[in-house]
Every structure is written in C-alpha cells, then in structure tokens.
C-alpha cells in the first residue's frame, strides 16, 4: 500500500488548486479522478470571469493549464480511475482504485464536483446521441428545421434554448412548474419567440422512438394525466447533481441533496477529511470559489503537517 | 482543428492505413465541444494504460470525416462525438455523444478483450 501525505479526490479546479498548494509545500500529493482532469471547466466554452485573463479563456485551456501547473510541482495523477473501495475515519484513511491499487494517507480532500442531472427515465440512455441530447452547442445543427423538446426551465435550459432557436423550427419546453426558474431577461427572450411553446406543470415519464420521431410521455403534475407528444429530438437541461454516490458507505455528513457539509476551513465531520468546490454545500458555485475552497483546504493540511513536524 | 494531445487523422487514406496496420483502433470524431472534449481526454489517459490500442481523433468538419459519418453504424447518430472502435479493420462498436471513462473502459474490455 503506497502512502501519500494527501490524497485529493477530484481533478477539477478545486482539486487542482489544492494540489498546486500541497505539492508546492513538498507534500506528496495524489489526485484521483474517474475521468480526466479539469472538471466542468474543461467543457465550458469561454471563461470570462476568471481573474487574470483580460480576454476570455477557453475552458479546456484553463483546465489544462491548472493540470500542468499541478504536474510541474510533482503532483501524482491517477485519472480514468474508479474508486472501488474507500475508508475514511478519524484515525485511518485509504482509497482503492480499479480493484487493484490501494493508497493510504492522513489527509483527504474531496473535490468531486457535480454533474448534469439525468432524468433516469426509460428511453433516456437508449437514445442518447440518437434523439436525446444534453448539449445545444454540440448537437443543434443535427436538428436544423426540426421540431424539438427542451426539458427544463432553469438558466441552462433557457440559455441553450436561445442557441437552439437559431437552428430549429420549433421548441416545446416541458417544465415541471408553472413558471420558468431562469433569470427573467433570458426567460423573456425565449418565451417571446413565436417558435416556442411551453407545456407547464408536466414531467417526462418515458421516451420512445417511433420511426424517426422521438415520443415523450409526460405527466401533468396537477391532474396526473399523461400525454404523448412527438417531435424530432429531445434536449435535456435539468440542473446538476453532486458527485457523492461514492461516499455512500462513508460516515460523512451530507445534506439531503447529497452535498457535503463543511465548516469554514472546509473541514468535514471526519478529522483530516476536507470537502471543496461544487460538492460542498454552499449557495454559490463558481470556478473562483472552487479554487478558493481548494486553497483553504490545502493550507489547512499544510498547517497540520507543519504542526506534526514541530 | 482539434486541440488535443492525440494523433489526428486528417484523411481517409490515413484512417484506412491505421486500421489496416493495427488490430485495435479507437477513433473519436468530433469538435472542440463540451461533449467531445471529455472523450478526447479519456482517450489521452487510456492510451497510457492500453498500449496495444491506437487512440486517435478526427475533426468532424473536415471533408474526409465523411468516411466516419457515412458508416452504417453511424446512420442514426445525432450527437457528437462519434466514437468508433475498429478491430482487424472492421467496426466492432460505435457510440454517439459523450461517454464516461467507465463506459469507454467497458467497451474496450468488451470489444478488444
């Protein structure tokens, strides 16, 4: 079993910021991620509000720079790695990845972030990429002059709808509430477009494909009646979920929504375990905040290591 | 123009040569968009783990990408990227849209075992 001074789970901005600090402080640092480095930033087109860049920087470039900076100070990476076992207690901490390699440490920083929410209804996975999409930028042109559904009424749903409107013939928004949750300025632009109509207070229950059409079976949440509607495609934008399912056997305090509860120094209820970035229960989720969280957690770890030595 | 650390396939001939001369080949054909970048990144990581597999990418918008777009396996694809797995020169699996590292590894373990 290999030992590191600190193990960071998650290689987004929070995890990479923490790694830059701990590795620069000469602590042996391992970063584990089930995917590649960069988190959600790498899939963000342009980042215009990250200090230090006068012109917007492409998300994957910013993420790549953060990783290179962490590597420069000898951070170790295990990417595309599945956590197959995890033990976190006040006294002992270890992580097993891919059923083979086991690593132990005194300090763990959890920075696994959040991911786009899936509806998890029949047909969703079956038709991903062939009728069901999660990205207007990527797939809008496949639906040129087509009729589509947009599922969701929040900011991302409305912003993506504005992009889709440049391509499609019509959009039917299916939304679970009777008003849109998006910022008014964006929502108004969408609703003012004659190509848009909205099915209020409905939730999709299943997707089917009939010949070349996608069928949505949606339930009216007020009457419980179901309707069947068909269009050419379905775009889903229903928010984010915390990537915390890997913690299900760990005695860490989570909110009812699965976010980790921390104190002001990013500490969790388990001694030596910190949580940073979008996995942490907090109001605002921004790259700058994630980087700040990662920095605080790293400085706490460094402080404890120095205390051990003195 | 793809900005990845993978080898780029720039022509039909290059792809044909690649799959003729290598038993196991995975090609991610896409753009620099949010659904494609994670798959390129996963390929970059996996090419270190699976040295017997050629992981490469191809720009979806170059004319020669027609060789991927025209595959029967991609006929019903409406989501980027198109990811194609070849074994002994034949398509053994094709996926549309984003895939997680776990999904890609599962496909690799299945079709390249």
Cβ–Cβ contact B69 with A under 8 A: no
pLDDT of residue A171: 98
Report whether A166 contacts A251 (CB < 8 A): no
**8 Å CB contact of A60 and B35:** no
Cβ–Cβ contact A178 with B under 8 A: no
- Any bridge partners for residue A208, and if so which? A215
Classify strands A233-236 and A240-242 as parallel, antiparallel or unpaired. Answer: unpaired
- pLDDT at residue A308 is higher than 90: no
Distance from CA of A270 to the nearest CA of B (A): 29
Cβ–Cβ contact A67 with B under 8 A: no
Residues 43-62 (A) with a CB less than 8 A from some CB of B: 43-45, 58, 60-61
Task: Please tell me the number of Cα atoms within 13 Å of A306 on its side-chain side.
Answer: 9
pLDDT of residue A36: 86
- Kindly list the residues from chain A whose CB atom is less than 8 angstroms away from the CB atom of residue B77: 129-130
The answer to whether ipTM exceeds 0.85 is: no
Give the separation between CA A10 and CA A152, rounded to whole angstroms. Answer: 28
Domains of chain A: 2-115+241-309 (3.50.50.60), 132-236 (3.50.50.60)
Closest-CA residue to B65 (of B44, B46, B47, B80): B80
Give the separation between CA A181 and CA A183, rounded to whole angstroms. Answer: 7
Closest-CA residue to B50 (of B110, B108, B111): B108
pLDDT of residue A133: 92
- pLDDT at residue A40 is higher than 90: no
Cβ–Cβ contact A128 with B under 8 A: yes
Domains of chain B: 7-107 (3.40.30.10)
Give the model confidence (pLDDT) of A86-120 as tens digits: 999 999 999 999 998 999 999 999 999 998 899 99
Helices (H), chain A: 13-24, 59-72, 136-139, 155-164, 184-191, 287-309
Q: Which two tokens stand for residue B75?
A: 């006929």
The conformation of residue B11, written as its DSSP 8-state character, comes to S
Give the model confidence (pLDDT) of A113-153 as tens digits: 998 899 999 999 999 999 999 989 889 999 999 999 999 99
**8 Å CB contact of A129 and B45:** no
Give the model confidence (pLDDT) of A243-298 as tens digits: 999 999 999 999 999 999 999 999 999 999 999 999 999 988 899 999 999 999 99
Q: What chain A residue is nearest to B34 in terms of C-alpha separation?
A: A43
Report whether A2 contacts A103 (CB < 8 A): yes
DSSP for A95-124 reads EEETTTEEEEEEEEEE---EEEPP---TTT
Mean residue pLDDT of chain A comes to 95
Percent of chain A, pLDDT > 70? 100
- pLDDT at residue B47 is higher than 80: yes
**8 Å CB contact of A137 and B34:** yes
Q: Which two tokens stand for residue A182?
A: 């998006």
Roughly what angle, to the nearest 10 degrees, separates helices A287-309 and A13-24? 30
């Amino acid at each position: 079993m290999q030992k590191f001074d600190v193990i960071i789970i998650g290689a987004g901005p929070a995890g990479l910021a923490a790694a830059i600090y701990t590795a620069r402080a000469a602590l042996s640092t391992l970063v584990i991620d089930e995917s590649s480095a960069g988190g959600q930033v790498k899939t963000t087109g342009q980042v215009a509000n990250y200090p230090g860049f006068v012109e917007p920087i492409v998300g994957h470039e910013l993420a790549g720079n953060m990783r290179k900076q962490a590597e420069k100070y000898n951070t170790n990476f295990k990417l595309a790695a599945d956590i197959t076992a995890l033990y976190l207690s006040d006294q002992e901490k270890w992580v097993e990845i891919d059923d083979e390699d086991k690593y132990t440490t005194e300090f763990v920083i959890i920075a696994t972030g959040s991911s786009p929410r899936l509806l998890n209804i029949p047909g969703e996975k079956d038709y991903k990429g062939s009728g069901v999409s999660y990205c207007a930028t990527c797939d809008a042109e496949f639906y040129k002059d087509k009729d589509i559904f947009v599922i969701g009424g929040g900011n991302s749903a409305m912003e993506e709808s504005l992009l889709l409107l440049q391509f499609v013939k019509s959009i039917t928004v299916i939304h679970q509430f009777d008003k849109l949750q998006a910022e008014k300025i964006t929502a108004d632009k969408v609703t003012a477009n004659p190509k848009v109509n909205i099915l209020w207070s409905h939730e999709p229950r299943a997707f089917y494909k009939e010949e070349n059409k996608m069928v949505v079976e949606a339930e009216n949440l007020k009457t419980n009646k179901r309707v069947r509607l068909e269009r050419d495609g379905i775009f889903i934008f229903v928010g984010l979920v915390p990537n915390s399912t890997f913690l299900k056997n760990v005695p860490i305090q989570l909110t009812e929504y699965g976010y980790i509860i921390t104190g002001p120094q990013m500490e969790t209820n388990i001694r030596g375990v910190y949580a940073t970035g979008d996995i942490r229960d907090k109001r605002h989720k921004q790259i700058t905040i994630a980087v700040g969280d990662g920095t605080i957690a790293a400085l706490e770890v460094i402080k404890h290591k120095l205390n051990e030595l003195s | 123009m793809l900005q990845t650390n993978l080898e780029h396939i720039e022509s039909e001939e290059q792809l044909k040569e690649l799959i003729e001369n290598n038993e196991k080949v995975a090609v991610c054909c896409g753009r620099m968009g949010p659904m494609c970048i994670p798959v390129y990144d996963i390929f970059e990581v996996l090419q270190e783990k699976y040295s017997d597999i050629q992981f490469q990418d191809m720009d979806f918008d170059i004319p020669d990408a027609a060789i991927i777009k025209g595959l029967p396996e991609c006929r019903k694809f409406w989501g980027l990227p198109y990811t194609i797995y070849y074994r002994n020169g034949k398509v053994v699996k094709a996926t549309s849209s984003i895939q997680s590292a776990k999904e890609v590894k599962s496909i690799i373990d299945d079709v390249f075992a």
